[in-house]
Amino acid sequence: MELLHSGKVRDVYADGADLILVASDRISIYDVALPTPVPDKGRLLTALSLWWFEQLSDLVPNHVISATDVPAEFAGRAIRCRRLEMVPVECVARGFLTGGGFAEYQRTGSVSGVALPRGLVEASILPEPIFTPSTKAPKGEHDEPITYDQVVDKVGPETAERLRQITLDVYRRGAEIAADRGILIADTKLELGWAPDGTLMLADELLTSDSSRFWPAESYQPGRAQFSFDKQYVRDWATGSGWDKQPPAPEVPAEVVEATRARYVEVYEKLTGNRWD
């Protein structure tokens, strides 16, 4: 195998005509990989992505070839995938107003060019899910919000509309499944790419704690920050640490690592119904 790319969290290897996508235990916030790993994180992300790919396989095709036909040293944290020509856009869907979207709304009354009603607060549920894309920044740089018109400029009107529709369809289906299990999906980020036959496919990870904000429905209350089953806990710690969000990132305290792992495990179990061993 040949290492093609080492990202903030995943490493990509070429294996003949296929790719081997390996999820590490690294954690990334503000587009910076932290130096402290979260044990089992790569296996959790891989298992949850595979579960979601299966749940949504009738809605949109995905890049998965096999979760078992991978090198033994990567077992449990790797997926054998199709090679795709990746779309140069991060596809984000939001059903609730939080994070960078809320900050932008406070400044402009809109998110990625989508005008929203006045008077919304932190964690408000939106009238309907919205497509709020961003750039795909190189490693070490920050993704930046862009408007739908800018997506059209990048990929053309037909592809832009397909990206928006797939992203919203995946979000709606995922949010419905999660809600039945007591989890709210505030937002999620998708990656898509073109197969050689022209099929647009889901790639990378899907509806995980790294790519989504998961909140417990039972304690949801707009107007405040929510308890989260994702890396928001690490973002909050980093903000309080005084770190300037530029590399190098500080070491993460053991108690923050432990609490983060526990949240990843809990949401995996709640969503899939499987016990994490």
The dihedrals phi and psi of 229, each to the nearest 5 degrees, come to -100, 50
Q: What is the pLDDT of residue 155?
A: 97
Q: Are 40 and 25 in contact (CB under 8 A)?
A: yes
Contact 16, 3 (CB under 8 A): no
Q: How confident is the model at residue 190 (pLDDT cuts 50, 70, 90)?
A: very high
Q: Is 63 helix (H, G, I), strand (E, B) or coil?
A: coil
Long-range contacts of 50-55 (CB under 8 A, 24+ apart): 50/79, 51/271, 51/272, 51/274, 52/174, 52/206, 52/207, 52/208, 53/202, 53/206, 55/173, 55/174, 55/177
Tell me which residue has tokens 């607060």.
121
Residues 256-274: tens digit of each pLDDT: 999 999 999 999 999 999 9
User: Which pLDDT value is given to residue 139?
Assistant: 59
- DSSP for 72-92 reads GGGTTTEEEE---EE-SSBEE
Max CA distance (Å), the chain: 54
* Cβ atoms of 247 and 265 closer than 8 Å: no
CA distance 33 to 221: 31
What's the mean per-residue pLDDT of the chain?
Answer: 95
CA geometry: angle 170, 171, 172, nearest 5 deg? 95
Q: Is the pLDDT of residue 140 over 80?
A: no
What pLDDT score was predicted for residue 232? 87
* Integer Cα distance of 109 and 14 in angstroms: 45
| pLDDT, position 192 | 98
Residue 142: per-residue pLDDT: 67
What whole-number distance in Å separates Cα of residue 153 and Cα of residue 232?
A: 32
pLDDT of amino acid 141: 62
Which ranges in the chain belong to alpha helices (H)? 41-55, 99-108, 148-155, 157-179, 232-241, 254-272
Whole-number percent of the chain with pLDDT over 90: 90
Using pLDDT thresholds of 50, 70 and 90, give the confidence band for residue 204.
Answer: very high
Mean pLDDT score, 83-106: 97
Q: Is residue 252 predicted with pLDDT exceeding 60?
A: yes
* Residue 31 pLDDT: 83
Query: Taking 60 as the threshold, does the pLDDT of residue 171 lie above it?
Result: yes
Count CB neighbours of 89 within 10 A.
Answer: 22
Q: What is the DSSP letter of 247?
A: S
| Pair 187, 215: CB distance under 8 Å | no
> How many angstroms separate the CA atoms of 43 and 120, rounded?
37
The whole-angstrom separation of Cα 158 and Cα 166 is: 12
Class of domain 85-219: alpha beta
| Domains of the chain by residue range | 85-219
Closest residue by Cα to residue 271 from 46, 43, 125, 52:
52
Asked if residue 183 lies in contact with residue 228, where contact means CB atoms within 8 angstroms, the answer is no
Do 216 and 229 form a contact (C-beta atoms < 8 A)?
yes
The confidence score (pLDDT) of residue 263 equals: 96
C-alpha span between 104 and 66 (Å, rounded): 40
Residues above pLDDT 70, as percent of the chain? 98
Model pLDDT for residues 22-67, shown as the tens digit of each residue = 999 999 998 889 999 999 999 999 999 999 999 999 999 999 999 9
